[in-house]
Amino acid sequence: MDTLLHDFLEMKELLSHYPLFVIGILLIFGYFLGKLADKVKLPEITGYIISGLLMGDAVFQVIPAHSGLSVITDVALALIALTIGGEFYITKLKVMGKEVIILTIFQIMLTYIVVSISLFIFKMELPFALLMGAIATATAPAATVAIVQSLRAHGKFIDRLYGVVAMDDAGAVIIFSITFALATGMLTPHAASGGHGALLLIFHAFQEIILSLAVGALFGFLIHKVTKKHSNTGEILILTLALVLVETTLAIFFHLSPLLSNMAAGAVIINISPRNHRIFRILEPLSPPIYALFFIIAGTELNPVALIKKEILLFGAVFIASRAFAKYFGVYLGAKAAKSANNIKKYLGFCMLPQAGVAIGLVLMIQTSPIIQTLTQDQQNTITLMVNVVLLAVFFNELTGPPLSKYAIVNAMEEE
Walking along the chain (416 residues) 10 residues at a time, the average pLDDT comes out as: 55 63 84 86 75 78 64 82 80 75 92 96 92 90 66 78 78 85 75 54 76 93 93 92 94 84 91 89 85 78 72 92 94 90 88 80 78 79 86 80 83 81
Question: 335: Cβ–Cβ under 8 A, 6 or more apart, which residues?
Answer: 103, 344, 345, 348
Q: How far apart are CA 360 and CA 140, in angstroms?
A: 11
CB atoms within 10 A of CB 225: 12
Residue 233 CA to its chain's centroid (Å) = 28
Residue 369 to residues 91, 163, 288: CA-CA distances in angstroms?
35, 32, 25
CATH architecture of 70-415: Up-down Bundle (1.20)
Count of Cβ atoms closer than 10 Å to residue 217 Cβ: 17
Task: Give domain limits for the chain.
Answer: 70-415
List, in sequence order, the alpha helices (H) in 338-355.
342-347
Are 209 and 181 spatial neighbours (Cβ–Cβ below 8 Å)?
yes
Name every residue whose Cβ is closer than 8 Å to that of residue 142 and which is 6 or more positions away in sequence. 43, 356, 357
Phi, psi of 308 (to 5 degrees): -90, 5
Longest dimension (CA), the chain: 73
- State pTM to two decimals: 0.76
Distance from C-alpha of 416 to C-alpha of 414, rounded to nearest angstrom: 5
Residue 94's CB: how many other CB atoms inside 10 A? 8
Residue 402 is predicted with a pLDDT of: 75
pLDDT for position 244: 95
Where b means 16+ CB within 10 Å and e means fewer, 354-368 reads bbbbbbbbbbbbbbb
Tell me if 342 sits within 8 A of 100, measured CB to CB: no
